[in-house]
Amino acid sequence: MIRIETEADLLAGAQVLIARDARFGPILEVAGPLPLRRRPDGFGALLAAIVGQQVSTASAAAILRRLEAAGLDEEDAVAVAPEEDLRACGLSRPKVRYVRALAEARLDYAGLRDAPTERVIETLTAVPGIGRWTAEIYAKFALGHADVFAAGDLALQVAAGRAFGLPDRPTEKALRAMAEAWSPVRAVAARALWAYYRIDTKREGVL
């Protein structure tokens, strides 16, 4: 399995990507150096991914800061925290359920490190509140998988539509099919499109 662990891996992956789809040449010129965005795996990474669901990156970052300040960013603490304490940090009632379910699942994070992408996704999506998007974000940024693409991401859909001059924003199904051509470096394509989105819209597309 190819992994994205370093800036050199990103550079090498970008060359493979351009060879797969020459349209990424201009996109990468606009985007500039791609951010690595690697983060430690484990409970904290999934907590951040759940918090980031359907909110802006700024809002998600603020909630995560409040959770950390309250000591509610660890598995054991979240499992026993009163709902009102989690809500006070900015979590909605559904997300309170989701982060508690994650804490109670006691996932074998070490065992996921060498698992193939689809097994990671299958394991994570068995936890309430973790959908394919969240699982793919985890595989990409916490585990370094190079060939994963979160096609359900709105920013990626918007960026693809604009960068490729499409008449409409592609659906998740259409973008996932499009991304097959970018294997085995779909995670590099995602980083390129997120970077393009940030420059084109002046907004961050991923936490």
pLDDT tens track for 166-175: 999 999 999 9
> CA dihedral defined by 9, 10, 16, 21, rounded to 10 degrees?
170
Is a pLDDT exceeding 90 seen at residue 52? Answer: no
User: Contact at 8 Å (CB) between 111 and 142?
Assistant: no
User: Is the pTM for the entire model greater than 0.85?
Assistant: yes
Residue 205 confidence class, pLDDT cut points 50, 70, 90: low
The predicted pLDDT at position 72 comes to 97
The predicted pLDDT at position 53 comes to 85
Torsion sign over Cα 127, 145, 109, 7 = negative
Could you tell me which residues come within 8 angstroms of residue 88 by beta carbon, excluding any fewer than 6 positions away?
A: 66, 70
Extract the tokens encoding 100. Answer: 């508690």
The predicted pLDDT at position 54 comes to 83
User: Contact at 8 Å (CB) between 188 and 10?
Assistant: yes
Is a pLDDT exceeding 90 seen at residue 144? Answer: yes
The predicted pLDDT at position 67 comes to 98
The predicted pLDDT at position 158 comes to 96
The predicted pLDDT at position 206 comes to 60
Task: For residues 45 and 73, give the distance between their C-alpha atoms in angstroms, rounded to a whole number.
Answer: 10
Is a pLDDT exceeding 70 seen at residue 207? Answer: no
